[in-house]
């Protein structure tokens, strides 16, 4: 692979084209559609509302609960309907990535439900789901410490790249995939996972690249929200 050009023609530090739509689920308290290349994530937020059964309630704060669903028709090899082990794992990953950013102490004994659906997948679904959920929470008016961007960095051999697609994840020589979630307002990484092997130098190079691109994604989110609610005002 060229050190400057990838299989789809992108440069090593170039993300796929991202698109944002708000209010895509009318009956939800907040919702958003986030597209990254051919990967599409739709998030819907319901609540805050009383948590049942009551034995699961937390006296001094609320609970953010997530349900991630990679739809059975979203990938070329048909997925068995119903939640898989991976779906359950990513539900927890997304909830953990977002919970520290929501002021849950304002909602004692209540729950905020976030549903993330993936109707089309070409890698990076957890990252797209987190971006969609960040937007949906803001669209629902849930108080947050800041928006969050999520993107996968990694390496193809010794070449550090950003936002791997499915072809790159399946690279025959072996790819390293590192999804990173970062909130610029708090300057905190709220989620980081690593699949594959990477040198210490490339790890920190990939992390720095991911943080910069996550900041770009939160800037996009802020712009979309301002345009949706303030007629494009940048104030």
Per-domain residue ranges for the chain?
A: 18-230
pLDDT tens track for 133-154: 999 999 999 999 999 999 999 9
Q: How big is the CA angle at 25 (ends 42 and 71), to the nearest 5 degrees?
A: 35
pLDDT tens track for 56-76: 888 999 999 999 999 765 555
At which residue do the structure tokens 């550090």 appear? 160
Mean pLDDT of the chain: 91
Q: Which residue has the higher pLDDT, 81 or 166?
A: 166
Segment 157-161 shows an average pLDDT of 93
Tokens found for residue 138 = 């803001």
Q: Residue 174: left if φ>0, alpha if ψ -120 to 50, beta else—which one?
A: left
Residue 233's pLDDT is what?
44
31 and 45 Cβ atoms separated by less than 8 Å: yes
Q: Which residue has the higher pLDDT, 17 or 1?
A: 17
Q: Find, among 230, 163, 117, 115, the residue nearest to 18 by Cα.
A: 163
Pick the CATH number of 18-230 from 3.40.50.150, 3.40.50.720, 3.40.50.1370, 3.30.230.70: 3.30.230.70
Q: Find, among 97, 225, 209, 99, the residue nearest to 154 by Cα.
A: 209
Give percent of the chain with pLDDT exceeding 90: 80
Categorize the per-residue pLDDT at 3 as very low, low, confident or very high, splitting at 50, 70 and 90.
low
Q: How big is the CA angle at 73 (ends 71 and 75), to the nearest 5 degrees?
A: 90
Categorize the per-residue pLDDT at 155 as very low, low, confident or very high, splitting at 50, 70 and 90.
very high
What three-state secondary structure class fits 62?
coil
Structure pTM? 0.91
pLDDT of 51 higher than 60: yes
pLDDT of 199 higher than 80: yes
């Amino acid at each position: 692979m060229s050190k400057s050009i990838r299989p789809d023609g992108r440069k090593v530090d170039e993300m796929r084209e991202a698109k944002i739509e708000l209010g895509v689920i009318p009956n939800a308290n907040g919702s958003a559609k986030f597209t990254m290349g051919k990967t599409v994530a739709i998030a819907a937020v319901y609540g805050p509302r009383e948590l049942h059964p009551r034995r699961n309630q937390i006296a001094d704060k609320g609970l953010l609960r997530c349900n991630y669903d990679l739809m059975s028709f979203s990938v070329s090899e048909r997925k068995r309907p119903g939640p898989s082990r991976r779906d359950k794992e990513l539900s927890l990953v997304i909830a953990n990535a977002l919970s520290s950013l929501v002021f849950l102490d304002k909602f004692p004994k209540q729950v905020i439900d976030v549903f993330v659906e993936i109707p089309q997948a070409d890698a990076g679904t957890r990252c797209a789901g987190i971006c969609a959920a960040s937007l949906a929470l803001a669209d629902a008016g849930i108080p947050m410490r800041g928006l969050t961007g999520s993107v996968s960095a990694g390496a193809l051999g010794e070449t550090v790249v950003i936002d791997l697609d499915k072809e790159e994840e399946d690279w025959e020589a072996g790819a390293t995939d590192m999804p990173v979630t970062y909130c610029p307002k708090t300057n905190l990484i709220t989620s980081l996972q690593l699949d594959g092997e990477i040198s210490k130098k490339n790890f920190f190079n990939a992390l720095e690249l991911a943080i910069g691109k996550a900041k770009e994604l939160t800037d996009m989110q802020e712009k979309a929200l301002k345009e949706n609610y303030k007629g494009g005002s940048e104030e």
